[in-house]
A = this chain, B = another copy of it.
């Protein structure tokens, strides 16, 4: 086996080029500095992904890097924040090699360019097992305007961005737990959505203008809507038929009875669920589309303290096997 670089060389070759913000000091100091613009609050988020839990150990390193970063950026965007940077702590298993690390850092570099963020620092250590990628990301938002879970009011319209269920179905394709396995482009789309969430950064400013509550769908559409309802002290309804599906997901839902539960409760969508007053709903949808992130009206906020319900085509409540995807 070729000799591998030590920690300092590794930082120099693969991480220093990612420290594009001057406050990161090219990773040559012990800390980084961020100068918050006057009148803005800092928004903080930490999320880690673990081999065998959130990705497969053999997945492309650039995709693992992207997923680790994007799940954090998705959270920031869903609360109205503009991402600024991140700290990366990696626990690397013993079998890493330079090709792997080169591809991993290339994935981060591409996403940094795409999303306008910089690496600000971090830590690389030996793992006590499989790969763990811990990211703490931060962004900024006009003072006092972060969008909370609490804030939804009866009468508000429930919107979701993009399409729902692709990632959960992509995972089921990989695990082989679907009755009929799709193939070709439709399957590729679902697999891609599992590995490469799309943080909806362009929606953040639109959310800031209109949303009464919002979050990104990571625990499952129904479970995350329940989070909003609980925090807001309201009830809610989702029309199952209105939930936007990709062509691949649509085909699976039509052919496999278990697919709908994966769509509604599967998680890892990283789409943005938000509530908007009825009076603003049309403008919100129009401005979201203009921003390049179409949103779909899927339900409504109602009075009450009961958990939200999902209504089938006949207007009757559906029962789901699992209300929320649990990562732990």
What residues make up the interface of A, taking CB atoms closer than 8 Å to B?
6-7, 10, 25, 28-36, 38, 41-54, 57, 75-76, 78-79, 81, 87-89, 91-93, 120-132, 134, 136, 138, 141, 143, 146, 148-150, 215-216, 231, 326-328
Contacts and interface: CB of A to CB of B under 8 A. Distances in A.
A91 to B, nearest CB: 5
Contacts of A89: 46-48, 89, 134, 136
A44 B121 contact: yes
Contacts of A57: 128
Nearest to A127: B129
A51 to B, nearest CB: 5
Given A31-B75, A33-B42, A33-B146, A51 B128 contact: yes
Given A43-B32, A46-B87, A46-B88, A126 B51 contact: no
A78 B53 CA distance: 37
A167 to B, nearest CB: 17
Contact of A30 (B25, B93, B216): B216
Contacts of A29: 79, 148-150, 215, 231
Given A50-B128, A128-B132, 9 more contacts: A25-B148, A32-B43, A33-B41, A33-B42, A34-B42, A47-B89, A48-B123, A53-B128, A54-B125
Nearest to A52: B128
13 contacts: A25-B148, A29-B79, A29-B150, A33-B44, A35-B42, A36-B42, A44-B87, A49-B125, A50-B126, A89-B89, A123-B134, A129-B129, A132-B132
